[in-house]
Structure 1
Amino acid sequence: MMSVSELARKWGVSEKAARLHSESFVWECCISWISMEIMHSDRQKKKECLPRYLASGANYVSLTAAGDSGGLVSTAVHYLAGERRFIKETMADTCILVERFEDIERARKEGKLAVGFHFQGCNPMHGGLREEPGDLNLVQFYYDLGVKQALLAHNRRNISADGCHEDGDAGLSTFGQKLVKEMSRVGMMLDCTHTGERSTMEAMEIYGQPVIFSHSNPKRMFNHPRNITDAQIKACAETGGVIGVCGWGPIVNASNDASPEEVMKHIDYMVQLVGPEHVGIGLDYVYQPELTTQRMQRQPEYYAPTKNMGSYGYDVALMDFMPPEDLPMLTELMLKKGYSDDAIRGILGGNFLRVAKQVWK
């Protein structure tokens, strides 16, 4: 085990920040994982990604296992099967697949990274056998396979809700209302990221437990369709939930700058608005940003409200993502802002840990 001085040198932070960061529980709420698989990513970079998080002080990460894009039941099961095997076999020396809350503490005691899954959109719940457009039985099925959180819609309208890029903002469907209730019953965390404002507000009323935005930034800081309003932030806080600040350049600022200093501005805005106990980290990191940049630019009708993507920051040579190696610097910046140790521990991961302990079953 490295000394505090060695960690400080490795991470490029003060010894105080290194000690606090290494002693804290660090929860990264979103790694955009399966999108890399879809784009035929470099296998070696995939194997290196999660150990990079462990080396940066992370204790738990949530990986996108499926979503609205190509979100058939068969596709979701296919990807889950492959990624479960990848974590359990290929990454066995450094990772533990989280199937119950106790696995998180077990991973920490063993010096390993706890890994869970999430869906970016509920199209994998599609496949109703009778009059319903979806099958509520799939919620428990996916939860038992490690899918501990799911967002309702990814940018566009689906069978459950409107996405954040729908001008109509129609709210939850009848099936969507039932789905939210079933997620609450099962213990799957409700994630309102990428979802239309009206749908999120309705869902937060129905869910009855703490709700999360796994990777969203405040719209008042940067007016991008993917960011969320003060009303959404406050409503999430009122449920006891947490908003994970996102480190994806196009929604951080107009300069596509996802440096820790710029991400910290979004953290501080939400801390001032609703308090540190409702703020977390969800970087939405991808280990091959060039693939994500290419994919989004090929599908402007899906990733932006209009085909003119220039005004939404997608027309860049390479989208910027804050990497896991910058996580310790966030701790340094929070210390410089004068945040208390307890507040920093909460933002780094304690807040998401609290919600998971309350919601998961």
Structure 2
Amino acid sequence: MTTGRDDAWAGVRWESWQDYDDIRRRLDQGADPEGWVAGRPLHRAAAFGSPEVVAELARRVADVDALDDGVTALWEAVFHDRPENARALAAAGADPWRSMLGGWSPGRLGLAGPTPDLFPVPEGERGLTEAERAAAQEGRRLVAALGSPYYEGTGLACVAGIDAEEAMRRLEARLMADDDELLGGLLEDPYAYDSDDSLRIVGVTTVPGGCVVAQPWGYAPEMPGVMRRLSVGTVCYGMYANPASGNQGSIARDGVIEGSDLHPGGGPYPDDTPEEVLASYLYHCNAVAYSCAWAGLRPTDARAVIGPPDIWAELPERDYWSHTDIV
């Protein structure tokens, strides 16, 4: 049963945390600053709200560093790149250097972000390692290079260490001519075709670090049989931007699927390694960049994802859903 304090938060949406007058009115009418059905209000405001709302909530809570899902509100502000919210929390007494997910503190995570001078680094506090600085620099470059392409419904396989020609060989794919009738029709209206035809057509592009197999209209690159063949002797990260359920990821290593039902661009999660936490921050809500980065690919633009690819190819008919390992 909901209480009056719960009811006072009814109708709050993510954009509501920007409305200082509304949030203050709710608090004055009895809304609980410590709890809400969707999590602690201060955490939501830190991620999505205005610094004025953050300061108001921080003034009313018992502990500005209370945890929600293992992190403080200050972590949420840093992770979502809300520097003014982070400053408001620090002014209210939040601790930037408290260790959290993967051993990262909000302050140290902020050193890898767009405002590395967000907090003064205290004496004795370690900064970023050389590897972490390099990862952060590459993350900013990769996100900028890819931009914000529309990729809903797109499937990708990001393969380390091989080029487009080698990917074609491994897949035993047929090179398609530019004037191929099926290809032309698919590019004009892919959803007018039966999936048995459309799913067999993929684009393959060489990029620095490896290659990308992409399909703007389907999940074929992430099928187990495709990823197992591509990953022999190397690694491959697959991604499908499912319009119905969001981004889905998988990992293949040396012909074996070793991870599935992953969430590229999501997280971080409580059991993540320090490297995984950093990647989740650098590529938050950017599944394409995350997939490329995981495989060590360094594209200079979005062409490998949105086209035109180096090669259009037709996959042979076979069972791509079998989980038999490639030998």
> Do the two structures share a fold, i.e. TM-score over 0.5?
no
Which TM-score applies when normalising by structure 2?
0.28
Computing the radius of gyration over CA atoms, which structure comes out larger, 1 or 2? 2
TM-score normalized with structure 1 length: 0.26
